[in-house]
């Protein structure tokens, strides 16, 4: 669902925002990248990210279920008493 999205990871040395694909966090236990600004090597543990991503997925699924239920409730046909003149 989010595999082709990117997240910005701040370099611990210079503070530059580096874009990383979500797919990279999901496939391996840790990600390594070189900061685009200061060229320092950065290592990120992916386990905490994956846990949070799973929480976000669950929250999104719940929102989708609620939207479907709300749509079903609103789809009732109006009655003549529902209108004010």
- Cα–Cα distance between 49 and 11 in angstroms, integer? 16
DSSP bridge pairs for 45: 30
pLDDT at 76 over 70: no
Mean pLDDT of 47-64: 84
Evaluate if residue 64 carries a pLDDT over 80. Answer: yes
39 phi-psi bin (left φ>0, alpha ψ -120 to 50, beta other)? left
Q: What is the DSSP letter of 27?
A: H
Q: Cα(44)–Cα(18) distance, rounded to whole angstroms?
A: 12
- Comparing 33 with 76, which gets the higher pLDDT? 33
Q: Give me the pLDDT at residue 74, please.
A: 64
> Which pLDDT score is estimated for 75?
59
pTM for the whole structure: 0.51
- Give per-residue pLDDT as tens, 9-50: 899 999 999 988 877 766 667 778 899 999 999 888 877 777
């Amino acid at each position: 669902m989010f595999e082709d999205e990117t997240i910005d990871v701040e370099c611990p040395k210079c503070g530059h925002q580096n874009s990383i694909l979500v797919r990279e966090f999901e496939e391996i236990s840790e990600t390594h990248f070189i900061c685009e600004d200061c060229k320092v090597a950065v290592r990120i543990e992916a386990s905490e990210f994956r846990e949070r991503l799973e929480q976000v997925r669950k929250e999104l699924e719940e929102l989708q279920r609620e939207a479907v239920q709300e749509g079903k409730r609103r789809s009732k046909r109006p009655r003549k008493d529902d209108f004010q003149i």
